[in-house]
Structure 1
Amino acid sequence: MQSALIDGRVIEYRIEGPGDGSNGGPVLVFSNSLGTDLRVWDALLPFLPAGLRILRYSKAGHGLSDLAGERPILAHAGDLLSLMNQLGIAKATLVGLSVGGMIAQSLAAAAPERVTGLVLCCTAQKIGTAEIWNERIAGIRAGGLESLADAVMERWFSPAFRETRAAELALWRNMLLRTPAKGYSALCAAIRDADLTAGTKSLSVPTLCVAGSVDGSTPPEVVRGLTDLIPGAGFEVIEGVGHIPCVEAPERLGHLISGVLKEHGLG
């Protein structure tokens, strides 16, 4: 268990692999989705190339990280940049899932000199409408996260996963339910208020956008729209998976990430 203090708040993180991040070696940084913590990447790690320095963290109000109240996506990107600074990570390739992908886009636009590449999974420059997010926030206030849990699982995972991996599904449902309601709602508000179109259009680093074919939150056509904003970005669809491909198809996602690193000399 590792922790950092950022603006007086604790951020949970784990860093693994050779080097200290400041010696020019390849670093891969992971930013997780709404309602999950750094453990969402566990199954993916064995399928990544050897020799990488890997940083995972839980954003504010998730996992063991402190709450931070309502704040924009750019502030969450600032947390990640501060964490990289504390750990001596000069540059990294960012892998972001859902809102983690929004954080990655925001950081890459604000500090392009710190980002060597992007893998944007099941995300977009703008996700959903204000009405959708306000309804979700109101639902949490009225009935807690339990009132949303089953619908969230349907968006996160394919029917096949839910039918054949019931015990594992229960763990992910528990992770969602144990996310602080205030942390979850605050991040919903950040997503609601974010439109990253202008900054994302300016990105010039090697980028791959990845969609799940049965994703109920950011379906392939939404991720395709993100891809079209970024000059030279690649686009891949992982068949038969939902919103969390690092859980449902870690080997396939690991192969795609490895391909980006190899193609662009990032790993």
Structure 2
Amino acid sequence: MHVAALDGIKLNYREDGDPDGVPVVFSNSLGTDLRLWDDILPLLPAGFRFIRYDKRGHGLSQLTKSPYGMGTLVRDVEMLIEHLGLSRVIFVGLSIGGLIGQGLAAKRGDLVRALVLSNTGAKIGTREMWDERIAAAEAGGLEALADATMQRWFSDAFRGTDAFHAWRNMFVRQPMEGWTGCGAAISGSDFYTTTAALELPALGIAGSEDGSTPPDLVRETVDLIAGSEFHLIRGAGHLPCVEEPAEFARILSDFLTTVTAND
């Protein structure tokens, strides 16, 4: 792992794969860190440079004062990509990571050659819903949100496994102000118009048991982009890369191979 000292923020990131390969940037969900992608990376094809990072206020990245704007989160990863000397990355975003990806592709089309939108939407929830969750977190910490969040995130079957408890622990151990800061960014984001104007290869991935960003929302969002693909992973919730890593990796691998073959 490495720390990039950027303008106003220090971001933790990690690189795997071929250092000279096609760059793939992963952006994870609210309340998780870059370990979200651990299980799929060994299953992805050779010839790619995989870059993961922790959003501000998450994992080992710097915590700054809440609230955050979505433009700030987009700027963070924009600076990281430029810091690494990259361009035309394939961007893989899950949940808030998908919002960040949409914002980056709209702002800096030169930096994003293809977009993977997993378990996300052009708009996620309402401002009122996020205000209620932020108030609950500020009053009782992330533990106050944990059980309801886990219910939305994971299938009944996965919540019965030993592995489930590690993900609950990851959620409650994120800095509360990092969670509320990013929650505020989600509440103010609506990318329907800008995403509909994108012209790039795009893949949507949804989980049939996702209670946070249901499949219809993911399909509606990726359908805004002409020529996009959509895949449903049955039996998985909001984090299909955790519940069904082999299927997630297969779908993503096919897309990565197709995108690079068309160069």
TM range (shorter): over 0.9
Question: Is it true that 1:117 corresponds to 2:114 in the alignment?
Answer: yes
Letter in 2 for 1:40: L
Stretches of structure 2 lacking an aligned partner (at least 5 in a row): none
2: distance between equivalents of 1:159 and 1:19? 39
1: distance between equivalents of 2:70 and 2:248? 25
Report the 3-state secondary structure (helix = DSSP H, G, I; strand = E; otherwise coil) of the residue aligned with 1:211.
strand
Letter in 2 for 1:248: E
2: distance between equivalents of 1:248 and 1:17? 23
Q: 1:82-231, aligned counterparts within 5 Å?
A: 82-163=79-160, 165=161, 167-231=162-226
Partner of 1:5: 5
2: distance between equivalents of 1:145 and 1:82? 29
2: distance between equivalents of 1:14 and 1:91? 19
Q: Is the 8 A contact 1:31 1:101 kept in 2?
A: yes
Letter in 2 for 1:254: A
Letter in 1 for 2:38: D
Partner of 2:51: 55
2: distance between equivalents of 1:45 and 1:215? 22
Q: 1:237-256, aligned counterparts within 5 Å?
A: 237-256=232-251
Report the 3-state secondary structure (helix = DSSP H, G, I; strand = E; otherwise coil) of the residue aligned with 1:247.
helix
Deviation string for 1:183-225 (max 9, x for gaps)?
A: 1001111000001112101111100111100100001111111
Partner of 2:32: 36
Question: Is it true that 1:45 corresponds to 2:41 in the alignment?
Answer: yes
Q: Is the 8 A contact 1:16 1:53 kept in 2?
A: yes
Question: Is it true that 1:66 corresponds to 2:75 in the alignment?
Answer: no
Stretches of structure 1 lacking an aligned partner (at least 5 in a row): none
Report the 3-state secondary structure (helix = DSSP H, G, I; strand = E; otherwise coil) of the residue aligned with 2:40.
helix
RMSD (CA atoms): 1.3
Deviation at 1:5, TM superposition (A): 0.8
Partner of 1:258: 253
1: distance between equivalents of 2:165 and 2:35? 15
Partner of 1:18: 18
Deviation at 1:266, TM superposition (A): 5.7
Report the 3-state secondary structure (helix = DSSP H, G, I; strand = E; otherwise coil) of the residue aligned with 1:14.
strand
Letter in 1 for 2:234: E
TM (norm. structure 1) is 0.95
Between 1:49-58 and 1:3-12, the stretch displaced more is 3-12
Letter in 2 for 1:19: P
